[in-house]
A and B are shown apart, each in its own frame.
Chain A
Amino acid sequence: MLLIVEQFLNGLQFGLLLFLLAAGLTLVFGIMDFVNLAHGSLYMMGAYFAASFVAWTGNFIFGIVLALGATLLLGILLEFVALRHLYGRDHLDHVLATFGLILFFNDAVRLIWGPAGLALPLPAWLTVPIAIMPGIYYPAYRLAIIAVALAVALILYLVVMRTRVGMLIRAGASNREMIGALGINIKLLYTLVFGLGAALAGLAGLMQAPILTVQIGMGENILILAFVIIVIGGIGSIRGAFLAAIFVGMIDTLGRAFLPDLLRQVLSSSAASTAAPALSSMLIYLLMAIVLVARPEGLFPANRS
């Protein structure tokens, strides 16, 4: 029982982290119709910035705030210098250009920070496990990730649903030409959305950094999951990304946690322990395939007329 609660928390935490990454991706893909493979690089840059700024300032909170600002600026700069020239083009051009950016960022990081990777140590108050229920200890830092990600999700919801900028973003997702025709500065809106997406990716990267290591190419594996999430959730839909991310996080974690034991009921122990990791990593792709067959638009498509 305690194990189940703990595994649910693990799944929730992983899902929320994926949401931060997927939210930026779905905004950029849904609103700007731009396929950004370099989203994972922004995730990596967020982590590298955080590791450097935390080491430089000596203060964890201050360092990550600086890192967030830096990733936001980097996103805006990237959009301004490179990506805005690609908007009218084919998706294949987007893929080629942003794949080039992945190589660029990986080598830039190798030049600046070296190939060995960095560590982002946590302050002492985040490294203690907290008793959330009698007998259940959960790492304080993972709880902090859950809290921050939920707060960000709420703020995003409020911004998108309750503010004028949010209204424009939603309008942009529904009909790009129309809001341009209504005299909205679509270029500025795009720059803003891209910067926001970059900051969200950076936030995901820097929050993941103390759990993992800060290393070259860290964004590439996780980006695939983010794409799966926006396909399941419906492209351009923040709500879809949120629910799909939690779904994927849960399936991935619970699959890993309980599938081996389930398989051991029917298979020999050694066959089960070999098959289970393979099968549990397939589960989310199975889910995606089922969603694509049943609802090609995704579970919660953004409102399109």
Chain B
Amino acid sequence: MRAALWLAGVTSLALANSAIAADTIKIGFVSTFSGPTAVIGNDMRNSFELALDHMGRKMGGKPVEVIYEDDQQKPDVGKQKTEKLIQSDKVDFIAGYIWSNVLLASLKTAVDAQTFLISANAGPSQLAGELCSPYVFSTSWQNDQTPQAVGLYMNQKGVKSVFLIGPNYAAGKDMLAGVKSTFKGQVLGEEYTVWPSQLDFSAELSKARASKAESIFVFYPGAAGVQFLNQYTQAGLKQQIPLYTAFTIDELSLPLQKENALGVPGAQEWVNDLPNEQNKRFVADYRKKYTGLRPTFYGAQSYDAAQLINSAVEAVKADTSKKDAMKAEMEKANFKSVRGPFKFGNNHIPIQNFYLQDVVKDADGQLSLKTVATIVKDDQDRYHDKCPMK
């Protein structure tokens, strides 16, 4: 009798489980939630959650279940977590990915399993070129694009020479290559630092000064950007050699960079003050839901990733087995991006504007980022013709 009851309990539990599995849209989200760069992962999660709130936490009429996994900023861990999400959780979509090296390590797992992967940040050149896949979309950019915009801006300013500094990993190399591809002046030096362990840039700064370059370009995401700006200012270089940046100053690093960041320009595809309705709602509701915090471009891209997934699920009325239909729908980019104009190229990387942003004091006396100008309109990455998809 007891055994029968037990058995009944188990079967009903199993039934309940399978019922849940069929009735939810499952999304895996891989990002960094521990260590010094966890603040980035938190911002992405906050924005993704906010997007779900805005959708009533349902896609195509079905409730959404998101499983967040921590990649610890390590490619091997990211790959494991991706495998776990796809093979044992059987997610319908997988999104997130801050780091290019983590994404590159995880990519094959998703593509082989024909699970849609939406990169909400990382944009290695391989992803836009030879490794492009029908199952992979990006709601960010290809790494080279943002520094390319910085290079164009430096040309506009009439800068004659530059010294480049960046971290020695996939994204760092793309970033410096990006500036070099558009900057018309001389490149007087190029330094790569050990990533992510090297935190002291004194040797590189001394070389930049000795090179007599007119400007310095850096790419240092996360805490490294704070450290770089500290050391750049302390070395007295702020008065000597103007700095141009990509992904070095954002709403997460700004409270720590403070005055050091004033007047340091950067390029970005999204700025918090972009004047479209969707963005106003995103920024206002984010600041309401998470008091004391401000959304970053990482968050904006994650918000768009949720919207992209939603558009696909709505189009197939939550029948996620219709992969071709979902792919066709996503290629249309049929959603209102928080960055305004947004469409996909043949390689599923966005074609979009890049803006010049500057650090200013806002109305409440806080430092914030502001759009100054549009550097380039409808920019497409320079690897798209290497992608076999047409």
A and B: partners?
yes
Q: Which residues of B contact A (CB under 8 A)?
A: 35-36, 38-39, 42, 168, 173, 190-194, 197-200, 202-204, 206-207, 209-210, 223, 226-227, 230-231, 233-236, 252, 255-258
A67 to B145, CA, bound (A): 45
B258 cross-chain contacts in A, Cβ below 8 A = 119, 121
Whether A256 lies near B204 (C-beta < 8 A) is yes
Q: How many pairs, one residue from A and one from B, have CB atoms within 8 Å of each other in the complex?
A: 108
Whether B203 lies near A213 (C-beta < 8 A) is no
Contacts A3-B207, A121-B258, A273-B192 hold; do A221 and B197 have CB atoms under 8 A apart?
A: yes
A-B contact pairs, 23 of them (CB 8 A): A14-B200, A115-B39, A117-B36, A117-B223, A118-B256, A119-B226, A137-B236, A140-B234, A142-B202, A211-B230, A211-B231, A212-B223, A213-B36, A213-B227, A215-B36, A215-B223, A221-B197, A257-B206, A260-B191, A273-B190, A276-B192, A277-B192, A277-B193
B203 cross-chain contacts in A, Cβ below 8 A = 7, 10, 253-254, 256-257
- From B191, B192, B227, contact of A212 by CB (8 A): B227
- From B36, B199, B231, contact of A216 by CB (8 A): B36
Whether B210 lies near A253 (C-beta < 8 A) is no
Q: Which 9 A-B pairs have the closest CB atoms?
A: A129-B236, A10-B202, A3-B210, A257-B203, A139-B234, A119-B256, A6-B206, A215-B36, A277-B168
A62-104: CB near B (< 8 Å → 1, else 0) gives 0000000000000000000000000000000000000000000
Whether B235 lies near A129 (C-beta < 8 A) is yes
Whether A281 lies near B194 (C-beta < 8 A) is yes
Q: Which residues of A contact B (CB under 8 A)?
A: 2-3, 6-7, 10, 13-14, 115-119, 121-122, 127-129, 137, 139-142, 210-213, 215-218, 221, 253-254, 256-257, 260, 269, 273-274, 276-278, 280-281
Identify which of A2, A10, A140, A253 gathers the most chain B CB atoms within 10 Å of its CB.
A10
Contacts A117-B223, A273-B191 hold; do A10 and B206 have CB atoms under 8 A apart?
A: yes
A210 to B194, CA, bound (A): 21
B173 cross-chain contacts in A, Cβ below 8 A = 274
- From A116, A139, A269, A276, contact of B235 by CB (8 A): A139
> Nearest residue in B to A116 (C-beta to C-beta)?
B39
Whether B252 lies near A212 (C-beta < 8 A) is no
Contacts A211-B227, A257-B206, A274-B168 hold; do A141 and B39 have CB atoms under 8 A apart?
A: no
A129 cross-chain contacts in B, Cβ below 8 A = 234-236
Whether B210 lies near A2 (C-beta < 8 A) is yes
Whether B200 lies near A212 (C-beta < 8 A) is yes
A128 to B191, CA, bound (A): 25
B36 cross-chain contacts in A, Cβ below 8 A = 117, 213, 215-218
Whether B234 lies near A13 (C-beta < 8 A) is no
A215 cross-chain contacts in B, Cβ below 8 A = 36, 223
- From B38, B191, B193, B200, contact of A211 by CB (8 A): B200
A142 cross-chain contacts in B, Cβ below 8 A = 202, 234
B257 cross-chain contacts in A, Cβ below 8 A = 119
Contacts A14-B200, A257-B206, A273-B192 hold; do A211 and B234 have CB atoms under 8 A apart?
A: yes
- Tell me, rounded to whole Å, the shortest Cβ–Cβ distance linking B195 to chain A: 8
B256 cross-chain contacts in A, Cβ below 8 A = 116-119, 213
Contacts A216-B35, A217-B36, A273-B191 hold; do A141 and B202 have CB atoms under 8 A apart?
A: no
B193 cross-chain contacts in A, Cβ below 8 A = 256, 277
B255 cross-chain contacts in A, Cβ below 8 A = 116, 119
Contacts A129-B235, A211-B227 hold; do A115 and B38 have CB atoms under 8 A apart?
A: yes
> Nearest residue in A to B231 (C-beta to C-beta)?
A211
A128 to B38, CA, bound (A): 33
Whether A122 lies near B202 (C-beta < 8 A) is no
A216 to B73, CA, bound (A): 14
